[in-house]
Amino acid sequence: MLRVTPSAELEDLVKLLRNSPEVRKRIQAIERAVAFKTAERVRDDVKAKAPRDPKLKPYVEALDVSDIDGHPNAVALTAELKQELATVNTAKTVALFPNTPGEAVFPVLAILRQYEPWAIDMIPPVTVKDVVFREVTEQEVKKARAANVLILPSAMSLLTQAKVPMGDEFKVKGSAMLDLANLALRIEFGAPGVPRAMHWRPGVKKAMRGLFVKVLARDSQFKEFVAKTLFDAGFGGYKQETPPTYSSITEAQAKRFEDFQKRLT
C-alpha cells in the first residue's frame, strides 16, 4: 500500500489558507454546492420511486431542498403539507402536538402532549397555534378514542387549573400540518391501507455511499466550477453557483428529522 502524506510545510500552508476568510467562503461554497446537488438527486430519486397513487401526489410534490439556518454548507430534504381542520377524515386521523427543541412550552401544549395521540373529536375545546395530523387506520383511531375517554376528565382538570381559556370547540390559529414523515415511513415499510413502495432508502443509501458525489465529480461543468472557485482569485461566481432554496428551517427543526433519517438507514 502506498500512502502519500503532505510535508509539515505544506500542512502549515493548508492551515493558513483554511484560516483565510475568503478561502473559507470558497470552500463552504463548494461544500454547499455538493450538499445541495446531492439533496436534489435524492429528491428526484424519491419522486421517481414514489407510488403513483393520486392521493399521494401532494406529498410527493411537496418534497424540496431547504436551507438550515446557521449552516451555510448543509441542507435538508423536507416537505410541508397544510391540512384544513374541516377537511380532516376524523375516522382515520389522530392529532399530535410535537415539541420543537428550544421553543417555549405553553401549559396547554404540555397538558395535551401528556395524553396524545388524540382522536380529533376528543380534543378539549382549546385553541392552539399549531397541530400535526397523522393518518392512521380506523382501528388506531378507535384505540386513541378509547384512551382519550378515560383521561379526558384528568386533562380537563389540568387545563382548568392552568387557567387555559376554553371555547366551544377545538381551534387552530396557526398551521395544521400533515405528518409527512410518518406517512413516508408507512409507505416505505408498509402499513394497512397504504400502498407499499421503497422510495426513500435507495436514494439515501446512494447518498451515504457517495455515489451521487462520484457522479457529480465527473461533471465537467462542476469540475470547472471547483477549479475556478479554488484557484481563480477573481472568480466571484461561486456565490451564485447554487441557487437559494425556497425555504429554510432552524437547526432545532432539523433535529426533528433525525429519527426519520435513522429509520431509513
**pLDDT digits over 14-62, tens only?**
665 666 787 788 888 888 888 889 999 999 999 999 988 888 888 888 8
Report how far residue 81's alpha carbon sits from residue 136's, in angstroms, rounded to the nearest whole number: 16
pLDDT in tens, 186-241: 999 988 777 789 999 999 999 999 999 899 989 999 999 988 888 787 788 877 66
User: What residues form DSSP beta bridges with 64?
Assistant: 78
Whole-number pLDDT of residue 10: 56
SS3 state at 68: strand
Question: What are the sequence ranges of the domains in the chain?
Answer: 20-79+198-264, 85-174
Set of cell numbers at residue 11: 500542512
> Residue 177, CB half-sphere, CA atoms under 13 Å: how many?
18
